[in-house]
Amino acid sequence: MKNTKEMTEKKQTTLVLGGTGKTGRRVAERLQNLGWPVRIGSRSGNPPFDWENQATWKPMLQGITSVYITFQPDLAVPGAVNTIDSFVKLAVECGIGKLVLLSGRGEKEAQQCERVVMDSGLDWTILRASWFNQNFSESYLLEPILAGFVALPVGNVGEPFVDTEDIAEAAVAALTEPGHSKQLYELTGPRLLTFREVIGEIASKTGNPIQFEPISTEQYTAALTEHGVPEEYIALLRYLFTEVLDGRNAYLTDGVERALGRKPADFSDYVQRTAATGIWSSSPGK
Protein backbone atom coordinates (compact mmCIF):
# COMPACT_ATOMS: atom_id res chain seq x y z
CA MET A 1 0.00 0.00 0.00
CA LYS A 2 1.32 3.46 -0.95
CA ASN A 3 2.18 5.76 1.91
CA THR A 4 0.39 9.06 2.48
CA LYS A 5 3.27 11.15 1.13
CA GLU A 6 3.33 9.28 -2.17
CA MET A 7 -0.44 9.59 -2.53
CA THR A 8 -0.39 13.32 -1.75
CA GLU A 9 2.37 13.97 -4.29
CA LYS A 10 0.20 12.44 -6.99
CA LYS A 11 -2.85 14.51 -6.10
CA GLN A 12 -3.64 17.45 -8.33
CA THR A 13 -3.62 20.99 -7.00
CA THR A 14 -7.10 22.53 -7.08
CA LEU A 15 -7.87 26.23 -7.35
CA VAL A 16 -11.03 27.09 -5.40
CA LEU A 17 -12.46 30.38 -6.65
CA GLY A 18 -14.60 32.13 -4.10
CA GLY A 19 -12.70 30.10 -1.53
CA THR A 20 -13.98 32.22 1.35
CA GLY A 21 -17.64 32.12 0.23
CA LYS A 22 -20.56 29.91 1.20
CA THR A 23 -19.67 26.95 -1.00
CA GLY A 24 -16.01 27.67 -1.76
CA ARG A 25 -15.02 27.71 1.90
CA ARG A 26 -16.62 24.33 2.43
CA VAL A 27 -15.04 22.86 -0.70
CA ALA A 28 -11.59 24.08 0.35
CA GLU A 29 -11.98 22.70 3.88
CA ARG A 30 -13.04 19.29 2.59
CA LEU A 31 -10.15 19.09 0.13
CA GLN A 32 -7.66 20.12 2.81
CA ASN A 33 -9.05 17.50 5.18
CA LEU A 34 -8.40 14.93 2.46
CA GLY A 35 -4.80 16.13 2.22
CA TRP A 36 -5.50 17.54 -1.23
CA PRO A 37 -3.34 20.54 -2.32
CA VAL A 38 -5.56 23.64 -2.51
CA ARG A 39 -5.09 27.23 -3.67
CA ILE A 40 -7.70 29.75 -2.53
CA GLY A 41 -8.87 32.36 -5.01
CA SER A 42 -10.41 35.49 -3.47
CA ARG A 43 -10.05 39.25 -3.65
CA SER A 44 -8.62 39.27 -0.13
CA GLY A 45 -6.06 36.57 -0.94
CA ASN A 46 -2.32 36.96 -1.41
CA PRO A 47 -2.02 37.06 -4.35
CA PRO A 48 -5.61 38.20 -4.93
CA PHE A 49 -8.06 36.90 -7.49
CA ASP A 50 -10.57 39.37 -8.88
CA TRP A 51 -13.09 38.56 -11.61
CA GLU A 52 -13.02 42.22 -12.65
CA ASN A 53 -9.22 42.26 -13.07
CA GLN A 54 -8.03 39.72 -15.63
CA ALA A 55 -4.41 40.43 -14.71
CA THR A 56 -5.02 38.47 -11.49
CA TRP A 57 -6.18 35.32 -13.26
CA LYS A 58 -3.06 33.83 -14.83
CA PRO A 59 -0.88 33.92 -11.68
CA MET A 60 -3.57 31.92 -9.87
CA LEU A 61 -3.74 29.30 -12.62
CA GLN A 62 -0.01 28.52 -12.63
CA GLY A 63 0.61 24.96 -11.40
CA ILE A 64 -3.12 24.23 -11.15
CA THR A 65 -4.76 21.16 -12.67
CA SER A 66 -8.41 21.61 -11.65
CA VAL A 67 -10.65 24.56 -10.76
CA TYR A 68 -13.85 24.95 -8.75
CA ILE A 69 -15.55 27.99 -10.27
CA THR A 70 -17.94 30.23 -8.39
CA PHE A 71 -18.68 33.59 -9.97
CA GLN A 72 -19.39 36.76 -8.01
CA PRO A 73 -21.92 38.10 -7.60
CA ASP A 74 -23.90 35.68 -9.83
CA LEU A 75 -23.77 34.14 -13.29
CA ALA A 76 -26.99 36.02 -14.09
CA VAL A 77 -25.37 39.47 -14.06
CA PRO A 78 -24.64 41.27 -17.35
CA GLY A 79 -21.23 40.38 -18.74
CA ALA A 80 -20.86 37.12 -16.82
CA VAL A 81 -20.94 34.96 -19.95
CA ASN A 82 -18.11 36.93 -21.59
CA THR A 83 -16.07 36.83 -18.39
CA ILE A 84 -16.49 33.08 -17.98
CA ASP A 85 -15.61 32.62 -21.65
CA SER A 86 -12.36 34.58 -21.20
CA PHE A 87 -11.46 32.67 -18.05
CA VAL A 88 -12.13 29.26 -19.62
CA LYS A 89 -9.99 30.14 -22.65
CA LEU A 90 -7.15 31.08 -20.32
CA ALA A 91 -7.64 27.84 -18.38
CA VAL A 92 -7.22 25.91 -21.62
CA GLU A 93 -4.04 27.86 -22.40
CA CYS A 94 -2.68 27.11 -18.92
CA GLY A 95 -3.24 23.38 -19.28
CA ILE A 96 -6.03 23.01 -16.74
CA GLY A 97 -7.54 19.53 -16.88
CA LYS A 98 -10.83 19.78 -14.98
CA LEU A 99 -13.46 22.49 -14.39
CA VAL A 100 -16.30 22.21 -11.87
CA LEU A 101 -18.78 25.07 -12.30
CA LEU A 102 -21.34 26.15 -9.72
CA SER A 103 -24.40 27.29 -11.66
CA GLY A 104 -27.95 28.33 -10.87
CA ARG A 105 -31.33 26.84 -11.76
CA GLY A 106 -33.67 28.73 -14.05
CA GLU A 107 -31.12 31.36 -15.06
CA LYS A 108 -30.70 31.76 -18.83
CA GLU A 109 -27.32 33.43 -18.48
CA ALA A 110 -26.08 30.71 -16.11
CA GLN A 111 -26.98 28.06 -18.66
CA GLN A 112 -25.00 30.00 -21.28
CA CYS A 113 -22.00 29.91 -18.94
CA GLU A 114 -22.49 26.16 -18.54
CA ARG A 115 -22.30 25.78 -22.31
CA VAL A 116 -19.01 27.69 -22.39
CA VAL A 117 -17.53 25.20 -19.92
CA MET A 118 -19.01 22.19 -21.73
CA ASP A 119 -17.61 23.33 -25.08
CA SER A 120 -14.13 24.07 -23.70
CA GLY A 121 -12.62 20.72 -24.59
CA LEU A 122 -11.67 20.22 -20.93
CA ASP A 123 -13.15 17.70 -18.55
CA TRP A 124 -16.07 19.26 -16.68
CA THR A 125 -18.81 18.80 -14.11
CA ILE A 126 -21.72 21.24 -13.70
CA LEU A 127 -23.45 21.76 -10.35
CA ARG A 128 -26.74 23.56 -11.08
CA ALA A 129 -28.01 24.47 -7.63
CA SER A 130 -31.29 25.75 -6.25
CA TRP A 131 -31.59 28.48 -3.59
CA PHE A 132 -29.10 27.95 -0.73
CA ASN A 133 -30.30 27.17 2.80
CA GLN A 134 -27.38 29.23 4.04
CA ASN A 135 -28.81 32.43 2.54
CA PHE A 136 -30.83 32.56 5.76
CA SER A 137 -27.79 32.45 8.04
CA GLU A 138 -24.75 33.61 6.07
CA SER A 139 -26.12 36.26 3.74
CA TYR A 140 -28.44 39.24 3.36
CA LEU A 141 -31.46 37.48 4.92
CA LEU A 142 -29.78 37.06 8.31
CA GLU A 143 -30.30 40.66 9.41
CA PRO A 144 -34.09 40.76 8.84
CA ILE A 145 -34.41 37.36 10.55
CA LEU A 146 -32.61 38.75 13.59
CA ALA A 147 -34.84 41.82 13.47
CA GLY A 148 -37.93 39.58 13.48
CA PHE A 149 -39.37 40.90 10.22
CA VAL A 150 -38.71 39.51 6.74
CA ALA A 151 -40.33 41.27 3.78
CA LEU A 152 -39.67 39.88 0.30
CA PRO A 153 -41.24 40.22 -3.16
CA VAL A 154 -42.26 36.58 -3.36
CA GLY A 155 -45.59 34.87 -2.94
CA ASN A 156 -46.69 31.31 -2.34
CA VAL A 157 -44.02 29.76 -4.57
CA GLY A 158 -42.27 26.56 -3.55
CA GLU A 159 -38.48 26.34 -3.76
CA PRO A 160 -36.43 23.15 -3.15
CA PHE A 161 -33.82 24.84 -0.94
CA VAL A 162 -30.48 23.01 -1.01
CA ASP A 163 -27.79 22.79 1.67
CA THR A 164 -24.37 24.16 0.70
CA GLU A 165 -22.85 21.21 2.57
CA ASP A 166 -24.38 18.96 -0.11
CA ILE A 167 -23.10 21.26 -2.87
CA ALA A 168 -19.59 21.21 -1.42
CA GLU A 169 -19.62 17.43 -1.04
CA ALA A 170 -20.71 17.05 -4.67
CA ALA A 171 -17.98 19.44 -5.82
CA VAL A 172 -15.28 17.56 -3.92
CA ALA A 173 -16.51 14.26 -5.32
CA ALA A 174 -16.30 15.69 -8.84
CA LEU A 175 -12.79 17.00 -8.20
CA THR A 176 -11.32 13.94 -6.53
CA GLU A 177 -13.23 10.84 -7.64
CA PRO A 178 -13.84 9.09 -10.97
CA GLY A 179 -17.34 8.82 -12.39
CA HIS A 180 -18.32 12.50 -12.53
CA SER A 181 -16.80 13.44 -15.88
CA LYS A 182 -19.13 15.46 -18.14
CA GLN A 183 -22.01 15.19 -15.68
CA LEU A 184 -24.58 17.92 -15.03
CA TYR A 185 -26.02 17.56 -11.52
CA GLU A 186 -29.11 19.63 -10.77
CA LEU A 187 -28.97 19.93 -6.99
CA THR A 188 -32.11 20.47 -4.90
CA GLY A 189 -33.31 19.68 -1.42
CA PRO A 190 -35.85 16.89 -0.80
CA ARG A 191 -39.02 19.05 -0.57
CA LEU A 192 -40.59 22.29 -1.74
CA LEU A 193 -40.96 25.09 0.78
CA THR A 194 -42.32 28.61 0.50
CA PHE A 195 -40.44 31.49 2.09
CA ARG A 196 -43.24 31.82 4.61
CA GLU A 197 -42.80 28.17 5.59
CA VAL A 198 -39.03 28.58 5.84
CA ILE A 199 -39.31 31.59 8.13
CA GLY A 200 -41.89 29.69 10.16
CA GLU A 201 -39.49 26.75 10.65
CA ILE A 202 -36.69 29.06 11.78
CA ALA A 203 -39.01 30.90 14.16
CA SER A 204 -40.35 27.66 15.61
CA LYS A 205 -36.89 26.19 16.20
CA THR A 206 -35.37 29.32 17.71
CA GLY A 207 -38.43 30.33 19.71
CA ASN A 208 -38.13 33.85 18.28
CA PRO A 209 -41.19 35.46 16.67
CA ILE A 210 -40.38 36.29 13.05
CA GLN A 211 -42.98 37.89 10.82
CA PHE A 212 -42.97 37.27 7.08
CA GLU A 213 -44.65 39.70 4.71
CA PRO A 214 -44.83 39.48 0.91
CA ILE A 215 -44.31 42.90 -0.66
CA SER A 216 -44.18 44.32 -4.17
CA THR A 217 -40.98 44.51 -6.17
CA GLU A 218 -41.23 48.31 -6.02
CA GLN A 219 -41.46 48.28 -2.22
CA TYR A 220 -38.50 45.90 -1.98
CA THR A 221 -36.38 47.98 -4.33
CA ALA A 222 -37.20 51.14 -2.38
CA ALA A 223 -36.27 49.49 0.93
CA LEU A 224 -32.92 48.26 -0.43
CA THR A 225 -32.17 51.68 -1.88
CA GLU A 226 -32.94 53.29 1.48
CA HIS A 227 -30.44 50.95 3.14
CA GLY A 228 -27.73 51.96 0.66
CA VAL A 229 -27.55 48.68 -1.25
CA PRO A 230 -25.66 49.19 -4.56
CA GLU A 231 -27.88 49.40 -7.64
CA GLU A 232 -26.23 46.44 -9.40
CA TYR A 233 -26.93 44.22 -6.38
CA ILE A 234 -30.52 45.48 -6.20
CA ALA A 235 -30.94 44.60 -9.88
CA LEU A 236 -29.66 41.08 -9.24
CA LEU A 237 -31.99 40.51 -6.28
CA ARG A 238 -34.92 41.89 -8.25
CA TYR A 239 -34.13 39.44 -11.05
CA LEU A 240 -33.83 36.48 -8.71
CA PHE A 241 -37.11 37.18 -6.92
CA THR A 242 -39.21 38.14 -9.94
CA GLU A 243 -37.94 35.60 -12.47
CA VAL A 244 -36.06 32.71 -10.85
CA LEU A 245 -38.74 32.49 -8.14
CA ASP A 246 -41.67 32.68 -10.53
CA GLY A 247 -42.42 28.97 -10.16
CA ARG A 248 -40.10 27.69 -12.87
CA ASN A 249 -37.98 25.86 -10.28
CA ALA A 250 -40.82 24.45 -8.19
CA TYR A 251 -39.87 20.81 -8.66
CA LEU A 252 -37.40 18.33 -7.19
CA THR A 253 -34.46 16.60 -8.88
CA ASP A 254 -32.24 13.62 -8.08
CA GLY A 255 -28.94 15.47 -8.59
CA VAL A 256 -27.64 15.02 -5.04
CA GLU A 257 -28.49 11.33 -5.09
CA ARG A 258 -26.79 10.87 -8.47
CA ALA A 259 -23.66 12.70 -7.35
CA LEU A 260 -23.37 11.33 -3.81
CA GLY A 261 -25.44 8.14 -3.68
CA ARG A 262 -27.66 9.45 -0.89
CA LYS A 263 -30.67 11.68 -0.32
CA PRO A 264 -30.13 15.44 0.08
CA ALA A 265 -30.21 17.03 3.52
CA ASP A 266 -33.61 18.35 4.59
CA PHE A 267 -34.14 22.01 5.44
CA SER A 268 -35.13 21.02 8.97
CA ASP A 269 -31.71 19.42 9.46
CA TYR A 270 -30.10 22.69 8.43
CA VAL A 271 -32.34 24.67 10.80
CA GLN A 272 -31.54 22.43 13.75
CA ARG A 273 -27.80 22.50 13.05
CA THR A 274 -27.71 26.26 12.49
CA ALA A 275 -29.87 27.14 15.48
CA ALA A 276 -27.41 25.26 17.68
CA THR A 277 -24.64 27.68 16.62
CA GLY A 278 -26.54 30.62 18.12
CA ILE A 279 -26.31 32.66 14.92
CA TRP A 280 -30.05 33.38 14.98
CA SER A 281 -29.92 34.39 18.64
CA SER A 282 -27.47 37.25 18.14
CA SER A 283 -28.53 40.87 18.18
CA PRO A 284 -28.64 42.70 14.85
CA GLY A 285 -25.38 44.37 13.96
CA LYS A 286 -23.20 42.17 16.17
42 in any annotated domain: yes
Residues 221-250: tens digit of each pLDDT: 999 999 898 988 898 888 888 888 999 999
182 in any annotated domain: yes
Residues 174-215: tens digit of each pLDDT: 999 999 999 999 999 999 999 999 999 999 999 999 999 999
* C-alpha–C-alpha distance, residues 176 and 224, integer Å: 41
218 in any annotated domain: no
Span 31-36, mean pLDDT?
97
| pLDDT attached to residue 45 | 87
210 in any annotated domain: no
* C-alpha–C-alpha distance, residues 130 and 149, integer Å: 24
209 in any annotated domain: no
49 in any annotated domain: yes
| pLDDT attached to residue 65 | 97
Arithmetic mean of pLDDT over the chain: 93
pLDDT confidence of 12, banded at 50, 70, 90? confident
pLDDT confidence of 283, banded at 50, 70, 90? low
Residues 93-141: tens digit of each pLDDT: 999 999 999 999 999 999 999 999 999 999 999 999 999 999 999 998 9
CATH number for position 98: 3.40.50.720
277 in any annotated domain: no
Q: How many residues does the chain have?
A: 286
pLDDT confidence of 285, banded at 50, 70, 90? very low
| pLDDT attached to residue 191 | 98
pLDDT confidence of 284, banded at 50, 70, 90? very low
148 in any annotated domain: no
Q: What are phi and psi of 195, to 5 degrees?
A: -65, -35
Residues 66-101: tens digit of each pLDDT: 999 999 999 999 899 999 999 999 999 999 999 999
- Of residues 61 and 243, which shows the higher confidence score? 61
Domain count, the chain: 1
Q: Which domain holds residue 86?
A: 4-130+164-187+250-264
